[in-house]
Amino acid sequence: MPAGRSAPARLGGPLLVGAAAAGACAIVWVADPTTPGGLLPTCPTKSLLGIDCPGCGTLRTIYSLLGGDVMSALRFNALAVVALGFLLVAYATWTYGRIVNRRIVSWQHHRWAAAVTLGAVVVWFVLRIVPFEPFVALRV
């Protein structure tokens, strides 16, 4: 990171990402993806193939978390809840690194992070489409 930049100048990126995330959350809150026939589009994988992709239910998960309903969020997409937790940690680490003007190594910098993430998504995808109990309950 450039040594001559002040802390407010270094926070431009995190502030922009935070504002974009807040704007996206505002859209999700206003559009209410839990209401059938709402403003938000349906999942193309669900529409075309009739199966739940790993991301199906993520907008409803975010909506539920914004309303403080963690159990509904987990029911809509448990992997998304875990992923959002990791993303919040990564964002906080990045922002802190910008404040102290150092690169802080976090989970996403490890060489195994991409492989573990891909593995978790593949396992979640398979669990969501397995047609017998208890995995049928993962569909919404």
Total count of residues recorded for the chain: 140
In degrees and rounded to multiples of 5, residue 112 shows phi and psi of -90, -5
The rounded distance, in Å, linking the Cα atoms of 116 and 111 is 10
More confident residue, 118 or 41: 118
Q: Find the mean pLDDT for residues 113-138.
A: 80
pLDDT at res. 70: 95
pLDDT digits (tens, 9 = 90+) for 48-65: 888 888 888 899 999 999
Domain coordinates in residue numbering, the chain: 10-34+43-138
pLDDT band at 36 (very low <50, low <70, confident <90, very high): confident
Question: CA angle 24-29-33, nearest 5°?
Answer: 100
Which pair of tokens denotes residue 31? 């559009």
pLDDT digits (tens, 9 = 90+) for 85-113: 999 999 999 999 999 988 888 777 788 98
Residue listed under structure tokens 């309303």: 67
Q: Find the mean pLDDT for residues 41-52.
A: 83
Q: Does residue 73 register a pLDDT over 70?
A: yes
DSSP assignment, residue 101?
Answer: T
Please tell me the pTM assigned to this model.
0.82
pLDDT at res. 103: 87
The rounded distance, in Å, linking the Cα atoms of 64 and 20 is 19
